[in-house]
Amino acid sequence: MLSTFDVRGRTVLALHAHPDDEAIFTGITLRRLADAGARVVLVVATAGELGESRVPLERGRTVAQQRITEVERSAAELGVARLVLLGQRDSGLPGWASGTHPRALAAADPDRLARRIARLVEAEAADTMIYDDEQGIYGHPDHRATHRIGATAAGMVRADSYRVTVDRERLRHHGPGRHLVQGAARSAGVGFGRTSDEITLTVTGEPDTVARKYAAVTAHASQIDAATLPGHDFASVYGTEWFRHDGPPGLLHLCNRPPRPEANHLP
Ligand SMILES: [Zn+2]
């Protein structure tokens, strides 16, 4: 599909906590950025090694190895130009002993990791960053850590920041447990998302973009059972992504412009 806005020469760095977050929370956004010509650099902080695999793994293969393969497939679906694995460890849910592991993301020095991210932003000449909002979308310790690291790095390099969240009012309208974040928040015993009036950018996609998001989400087969996704209703539950952003419209706003009427909406 022809992009509706040309952002060639622009680079965005998206930082996520675990393999699958990039697809679930920003799949449409990353695909739209790539389709519009932006270079998309995806940084995944952990291998999500505490997520049990729901499918049998090949002998000798670890969950981390499986999940890295899955995020590589997802990244390809979403048009990611470069995937960087930070190599921290999944911290698990609040209160788990895994949260104090020496390599746990939640226990890591956020300034040290922020400096790594800032160097990447500079090396890539990225002007825009995407990372979790202040609440870590739904309060998972790794998502909160991702916010701290992203916000600190963005401050160091003065990148324009989009903070990822979900619209809890909109998701509740679809009913309980329709979006994966609702189940994740229930497991963690926390709330999730923001009210609609706290959201500053809502990104949607055309059916072909939503289809790429579906392919990216289901690439994470060790974690996500495609049969539990809202099949024909996928677009209504997952076809929208939400951000908080300060200041004048930035790169994501440009890519979110509606298609030109002559493109494919003639009566
Ligand atoms: Zn996550």
Q: Where do the domains of the chain lie, and which CATH numbers do they carry?
A: 11-250 (3.40.50.10320)
- Looking up tokens 């002998």 gives 59
What local confidence, expressed as pLDDT, does residue 267 receive? 44
What local confidence, expressed as pLDDT, does residue 4 receive? 56
189 vs 40, 98, 165, 184, CA distance in Å? 33, 17, 17, 9
Q: How far is the CA of 19 from the centre of ligand 1 (A)?
A: 7
Residue range 12-35, pLDDT digits in tens: 999 999 999 999 999 999 999 999
pTM: 0.93
* Secondary structure of the chain in HEC code, one letter for each residue: CCCCCCCCCCEEEEEECCCCHHHHHHHHHHHHHHHCCCEEEEEEEECCCCCCCCCCCCCCCCHHHHHHHHHHHHHHHCCCCEEEEEEEECCCCCCCHHHHCCCEHHHCCHHHHHHHHHHHHHHHCCCEEEEECCCHHHHCHHHHHHHHHHHHHHHHHCCEEEEEECEHHHHHHHCCCCCHHHHHHHHHCCCCCECHHHCCEEEECCHHHHHHHHHHHHCCCCCCCHHHCCHHHHHHHHCEEEEEECCCCCHHHHHCCCCCHHHHCCC
Residue 225 reports pLDDT greater than 60: yes
Q: How far is the CA of 132 from the centre of ligand 1 (A)?
A: 10
Residue range 148-197, pLDDT digits in tens: 999 999 999 999 999 999 999 999 888 777 899 998 888 777 889 999 99
Q: Could you give the angle at which helices 207-218 and 21-35 cross, rounded to 10 degrees?
A: 140
Average pLDDT of the residues of the chain: 92
What local confidence, expressed as pLDDT, does residue 2 receive? 44
Q: How far is the CA of 264 from the centre of ligand 1 (A)?
A: 36
CA distance 56 to 63: 10
Cross-sheet strand order for the sheet of 160-165: 82-88, 39-46, 11-16, 128-132, 160-165, 240-245, 201-204
Q: How far is the CA of 175 from the centre of ligand 1 (A)?
A: 22
Q: How far is the CA of 18 from the centre of ligand 1 (A)?
A: 5
What local confidence, expressed as pLDDT, does residue 119 receive? 98
- Please state, for a pLDDT cut of 90, what percent of the chain lies above it: 80
Residue range 55-98, pLDDT digits in tens: 999 999 999 999 999 999 999 999 999 999 999 999 988 788 88
Q: How far is the CA of 262 from the centre of ligand 1 (A)?
A: 39
What local confidence, expressed as pLDDT, does residue 260 receive? 56
What local confidence, expressed as pLDDT, does residue 46 receive? 97
Q: Could you give the angle at which helices 180-188 and 21-35 cross, rounded to 10 degrees?
A: 140
Q: How far is the CA of 141 from the centre of ligand 1 (A)?
A: 9
Residue 141 reports pLDDT greater than 80: yes
What local confidence, expressed as pLDDT, does residue 231 receive? 80
Residue 229 reports pLDDT greater than 80: yes
What values do phi and psi take at 131, rounded to 5? -155, 170
Residue 1 reports pLDDT greater than 60: no
Q: How far is the CA of 21 from the centre of ligand 1 (A)?
A: 5
Give 97: exposed, middle or buried? Use CB within 10 Å, 0-12, 13-18, 19+.
Answer: exposed
Q: How far is the CA of 92 from the centre of ligand 1 (A)?
A: 10
